[in-house]
Amino acid sequence: MELIQEALKGSERAIARLITMVENEMPSWRETMRTIYAHTGKAYLLGFTGPTGSGKSTLVDRVAHLLCTNGYSVGIVAIDPSSPFTGGALLGDRIRMREVVTHENVFIRSLGTRGGLGGLSQATSDVIKILDAAGKEFILIETIGIGQDEVEIAQIADTSIVVSVPGLGDDIQTIKAGIMEIGEIFVVNKADREGADHVVTMIKAMLDVHPLSDAWQQPVIKTVATENGGVDELYENIMLHRKYLLKSDLLAVKRKERIGREITRLLERRIAQYVHNQMKEIGSLEDLVEEVTRRETDPYSCVDRLLPLVEKK
């Protein structure tokens, strides 16, 4: 309780300790999140997704810096599918996020993706809530674009920024159609390299084919993150999109959808854990596997047999 109070006041130490608690799903985790939840809903969430090495961390650093300069308090969550949060990537990100670590009101945390399907686990969403409750006005979430992750980031963020770079080979492969529908702002970073204009043209052409269902015109912005090039324009467009969502009431709609998904996800997880525990009590899965292997029964019938046992418990 004391820890929560400290975190709500913005204590970095308390925030860090709470995050460790939810990451490890300590027994008091759910109770903690319940208390925290009442204080959430104020932060604006920015998602950055894109291929490895495209410059996401550098961009996050620069945008965070601008936010700080404009008086906002900022939290950063980096989701790293390749290594746990204590791994080398954190160090790398810390080094790259040079600008922001000098601001004392920025809190940076790297997270592994274990636990949840598709990468952005429950822990991520809980960490975002802790930062939100602690008074961070903007929370920047960095994730690598693989498979489901980019769709998940769109669901978790208020504004989704899709980062591309020139020179990744086959253009169609680089910018998949699916990603066109989730990006609200497109960035072509490393515009100091050859081929940036071509990528911009390509993205614009694809946006014509896959427009958003609402009235927002997705901008395509060239940046050179390392030189701060185009970052002001990116910042302005983030603020424009935020204004657009607020004015059109779409922000409220987005957030309600997010709450609906979260309730469903938490329920599914609880049910899955319950079934898993019941399975252990009901009997040996190996026996069933043997029966199926001998073709004495089949997986479908096994489930029919198990379901009443699970339901009764």
Ligand X SMILES: Nc1nc2c(ncn2[C@@H]2O[C@H](COP(=O)(O)OP(=O)(O)OP(=O)(O)O)[C@@H](O)[C@H]2O)c(=O)[nH]1
143 is a contact residue toward ligand X (CB under 6 A) = no
57 is a contact residue toward Mg ion (CB under 5 A) = yes
Return the percent helix, strand and coil in the chain, to nearest 5.
Answer: 55, 15, 30
Residue 173 CA to residue 50 CA, distance in Å, equals: 13
Site for ligand X in 31-50 (CB under 6 A): 50
Residue 80 CA to residue 76 CA, distance in Å, equals: 13
Reference 48, options 142, 189, 169, 156; nearest CA is 142
CB of 122 to ligand X, least distance (A): 22
Question: From Mg ion, ligand X, none, which one binds at residue 86 (CB under 5 to 8 Å depending on kind)?
Answer: none
228 is a contact residue toward ligand X (CB under 6 A) = no
189 is a contact residue toward Mg ion (CB under 5 A) = no
Site for ligand X in 99-118 (CB under 6 A): none
215's enclosing H/E stretch is: none
Q: Pick from 127, 153, 225, 288 the residue near ligand X by CB under 6 A.
A: 225
Task: Report the residue number, 227 or 290, with the smaller CB distance to ligand X.
Answer: 227
Sequence letter at residue 45? L
- Residue 210 · residue 181 · CB < 8 Å: yes
Residue 212 CA to residue 200 CA, distance in Å, equals: 18
Residue 126 CA to residue 18 CA, distance in Å, equals: 10
222 is a contact residue toward ligand X (CB under 6 A) = no
Cα distance from N-terminal residue to C-terminal residue, the chain: 34
Q: Pick from 49, 58, 121, 174 the residue near ligand X by CB under 6 A.
A: 58
113 is a contact residue toward Mg ion (CB under 5 A) = no
49 is a contact residue toward Mg ion (CB under 5 A) = no
CB of 305 to Mg ion, least distance (A): 48
Instruction: By CB under 6 A, name the binding residues for ligand X.
Output: 50, 52-58, 96, 144, 189-190, 192, 224-226
